[in-house]
Chains A and B, each alone.
Chain A
Amino acid sequence: AQSVTQLDSHVSVSEGTPVLLRCNYSSSYSPSLFWYVQHPNKGLQLLLKYTSAATLVKGINGFEAEFKKSETSFHLTKPSAHMSDAAEYFCVVRDGLGGGADGLTFGKGTHLIIQP
């Protein structure tokens, strides 16, 4: 079975400063990991995904995440926050043992607040 823990329910940063959203996972096999973003009253958009090809994954809008197996972490970062980054961010895991039709296991989300 797999699970995801997002360590912060809320993160507040100033515009132009770095963003760090923390995620730890648990998986019984080589996991696939994803970050999704949900803007207010919108659907979920894929930011990036880790599929074992490279441990540092670059996504859209300047976000990137690093897979660290020893720490079972997949933290999301961005060098400089923009006001438009304010949203809910979900770390997601899918166990490598499962088939392609398996559902995703979502973390509880981190609400990112950008201060002007």
Chain B
Amino acid sequence: DTAVSQTPKYLVTQMGNDKSIKCEQNLGHDTMYWYKQDSKKFLKIMFSYNNKELIINETVPNRFSPKSPDKAHLNLHINSLELGDSAVYFCASSQLAGGPTSAQYFGPGTRLLVL
């Protein structure tokens, strides 16, 4: 009955590879997000989607491409992985109708290591 789930939990891969991270939420929320947490634990928004439409696209290399097949899923595909992509990636969801006061609920994170 996990609210926000991500797969895989760990991902170790070589530079230049392409990989995907999947996210699913069963909270009935209509807005989903991807955040990146660097080695110093700093978290930064990457993307947000509302009802499958891109709302926010922060300054992220275009090697990162989010895809939302439906409002319960937001996947992250990364092309040509680089060493600097090593980080923990968190998916989150919230309900847009709650406005700015709406809390976001986070998944357990995917730890990506690029060798």
Contacts and interface: CB of A to CB of B under 8 A. Distances in A.
Interface of A: 32, 34, 36, 38, 42-46, 49, 51-52, 88, 90, 94-106, 108-109
Nearest to A98: B100
B99 interface: yes
Contacts, number: 75
**Max count, chain B CB within 10 A of own CB: residue among A36, A46, A104, A108:** A104
Tell me if A's interface is mostly helix, strand, loop or mixed: loop
A52 B92 CA distance: 23
Nearest to A38: B41
Nearest to B4: A43
B15 to A, nearest CB: 24
Interface string B58-82: 1000000000000000000000000
B97 A104 contact: no
Nearest to A51: B101
A95 B45 CA distance: 14
Contacts of B97: 100
A90 B103 contact: no
A112 to B, nearest CB: 13
Contact of A94 (B50, B92, B100): B100
Interface in B63-115: 90, 92, 94-109
Contacts of A98: 100
Contact of B102 (A36, A97, A100): A100
A103 B45 contact: yes
A101 B106 contact: no
6 contacts: A44-B90, A44-B92, A46-B104, A49-B103, A101-B49, A101-B55
A32 B4 CA distance: 22
Contacts of A88: 41
A108 B42 contact: yes
Contact of B103 (A46, A52, A105): A46
Given A103-B35, A103-B45, A43 B94 contact: no
Contacts of A108: 40-42
Contacts of A103: 33, 35, 45, 48, 56, 58
